[in-house]
Amino acid sequence: LPDIRDGLKPVQRRILYSMNKDGNTFEKGFRKSAKSVGNVMGNFHPHGDYSIYDAMVRMSQDWKNRETLIEMHGNNGSMDGDPAAAMRYTEARLSEIAGYLLQDIDKNTVPFAWNFDDTEKEPTVLPAAFPNLLVNGATGISAGYATDIPPHNLAEVIDAVVYMIDHPKAKLDKLMEFLPGPDFPTGAIIQG
């Protein structure tokens, strides 16, 4: 399940942190996805390369995310369910908006914990300068729990958050003037 503070599952957080740490950011060239997957698996997430690559691919799919956190060159799958090309064929880097999730991470803004083999520290949550959980939504299943949060428009979410900061006791009806409903990346018609 994702953490409400940054909207990320542990594997997603580890991918973004590792790519940022390696300088694999939006203003630089793309790197082989296999290199990023190897760095994540070796340093932070020893649970197999497929789960890491699958999470990386999902964060790059603009039909699943309102704001993609990874930019990918090559075949990253399709809306029809076609799988992505193998990681040796694709290249990836952080998207520009992913930088806002990682902004000021080096300034003691979030807690860090030791990684699986106590050789390096990793963030337990990202600073997240925007509410990623609302913007990109989330789906997940855990023991006894499940979540399915739809994505929302970034500008509408920011407007609602600013209003909520200025009016902490705001009612739902007022917030819905700013955030009227979900905003699916492929469009949708809500009925009922």
Q: Which residues contact 65 (CB under 8 A, 6 or more apart)?
A: 58, 59, 136, 151, 185
Are the CB atoms for 107 and 114 separated by under 8 Å?
A: no
Question: Counting Cβ atoms within 10 Å, is residue 137 exposed (0-12), middle (13-18) or buried (19+)?
Answer: buried
Please name which of 57, 14, 11, 5 lies closest in space to residue 34, comparing C-alpha atoms: 57
Establish whether 89 is a catalytic residue.
yes
Catalytic residue among 50, 89, 100, 145: 89
- As annotated, the active-site residues are 89
